[in-house]
């Protein structure tokens, strides 16, 4: 799809990823990108989602809006995250169908992958098991929306495509320990250690766990490419293609890291 001149809407466009994506989409389309904002457009409410489509009349939608946090927030809000992500997705996708949107890009998550899936993740293993328990409410909700996107393509001919980005990092990330992910949480620990004069920084667990990371600007570029060129119902991972252990990631800072031994 040629995005030039298209009316584009990005839910969650004022968030971490969205703030990097919107300028790229504006450059590709040549027109201002619509960014509906909460609470004026509370997408967990069906009428608000309907009003969003009426107000902005988008031809292309990228659905980034989500309720998600770090480990602490995931443990504290499993019901909220499941219901919120399901409700937003149901409303955004169904109203896209009803309003004749030409293309919708659904942002999924690698949290949908099975707990014991081989890494790096491969799309064909997505349905081989249950997600890691802490991430399951968020991951399963996103997984269900993938099925919805596929079902709407099959029954209604909707051009809905799905991408599954890995852990993102970069400028504008969240650094509060309750909602942050690995890299910003480590950055905060290092900064606080430097400010307090601490000799060591302790990381979580054994440090042997591995994660795959992607720079947020690279993800934004990939999403523009998905909006332009991705075809078909099957989800596509967005990642670097390799993983790094938490211990090695922490050691890359140059700070002496205390890794518990069990």
Non-local CB neighbours of 220 within 8 Å, separated by 6+ positions: 17, 20, 21, 24
CA distance 242 to 262: 26
Q: Is residue 66 part of a domain?
A: yes
β-bridge partners, 8: 60
Q: Is residue 14 part of a domain?
A: yes
Q: What is the pLDDT of residue 204?
A: 65
Q: Is 53 a catalytic residue?
A: no
Q: What is the pLDDT of residue 251?
A: 79
Mapped onto helix, strand or coil, the DSSP state of residue 207 is: coil
For 129, the domain range is 8-166+215-239
Average pLDDT over every residue of 188-208: 78
Q: Is residue 3 part of a domain?
A: no
Give me the catalytic one of 41, 138, 152, 169.
138
Lowest pLDDT segment from 67-71, 140-144, 256-260: 256-260
CA distance 220 to 6: 18
Number of domains in the chain: 1
Q: Mean pLDDT score of the chain, rounded to an integer?
A: 92
Average pLDDT over every residue of 198-204: 74
Q: Is residue 253 part of a domain?
A: no
Stated pTM of the model: 0.91
Q: What is the pLDDT of residue 246?
A: 80
Q: What is the pLDDT of residue 256?
A: 62
Q: What is the pLDDT of residue 109?
A: 97
Q: Is residue 200 part of a domain?
A: no
Tokens coding 158: 């909707």
Q: Is residue 160 part of a domain?
A: yes
Q: Is pLDDT of 200 > 80?
A: no
- Greater pLDDT, 194 or 111: 111
CA distance 88 to 11: 10
Domain containing residue 16: CATH number = 3.40.50.720
Average pLDDT over every residue of 137-146: 98
Please name the residue ranges forming H helices in 99-213: 136-156, 182-196
Cα end-to-end span (Å), the chain: 53
Pairing of strands 167-169, 60-63: unpaired
Cα angle 187-189-191, degrees, rounded to a multiple of 5: 70
Q: Is residue 1 part of a domain?
A: no
Give the confidence band of 178 by pLDDT, cuts at 50, 70, 90.
low
Using omega within 30 degrees of 0 as the cis cutoff, is the peptide bond preceding 166 cis? no
Task: Give Cα 126 to chain centroid, integer Å.
Answer: 16
C-alpha distances out from residue 140 to 19, 81, 114, 215, Å: 26, 10, 10, 25
Q: Is residue 251 part of a domain?
A: no
In the chain, the percentage of residues whose pLDDT exceeds 70 is: 94
Report the candidate in 128, 136, 89, 129 with the shortest Cα–Cα distance to residue 111. 136
Q: Is pLDDT of 32 > 70?
A: yes
Using omega within 30 degrees of 0 as the cis cutoff, is the peptide bond preceding 39 cis? yes
């Amino acid at each position: 799809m040629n995005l030039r001149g298209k009316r584009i809407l990005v839910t969650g466009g004022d968030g971490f990823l969205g703030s990097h994506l919107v300028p790229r989409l504006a450059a590709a389309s040549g027109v201002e990108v619509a960014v509906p904002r909460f609470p004026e457009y509370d997408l967990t409410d069906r009428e608000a989602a309907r009003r969003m489509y009426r107000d902005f009349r988008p031809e292309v939608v990228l659905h980034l809006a989500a309720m998600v946090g770090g480990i602490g927030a995931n443990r504290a809000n499993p019901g909220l995250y499941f219901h919120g992500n399901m409700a937003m997705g149901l409303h955004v996708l169904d109203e896209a169908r009803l309003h004749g949107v030409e293309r919708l890009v659904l942002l999924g998550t690698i949290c949908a992958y099975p707990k014991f899936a081989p890494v790096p993740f491969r799309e064909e293993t997505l349905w081989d098991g249950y997600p890691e328990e802490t991430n399951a409410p968020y991951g399963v909700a996103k997984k269900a929306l993938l099925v919805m996107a596929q079902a709407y393509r099959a029954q209604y001919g909707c051009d809905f495509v799905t991408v599954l980005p890995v852990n993102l990092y970069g400028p504008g990330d969240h650094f509060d320990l309750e909602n942050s992910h690995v890299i910003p949480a480590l950055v905060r620990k290092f900064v606080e250690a430097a400010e307090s004069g601490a000799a060591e920084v302790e990381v979580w667990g054994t440090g042997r766990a591995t994660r795959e990371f992607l720079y947020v600007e690279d993800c934004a570029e990939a999403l523009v490419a998905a909006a332009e060129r991705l075809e078909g119902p099957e989800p596509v991972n967005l990642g670097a293609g390799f993983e790094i252990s938490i211990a090695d990631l922490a050691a890359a800072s140059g700070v002496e890291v205390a890794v518990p031994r069990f």
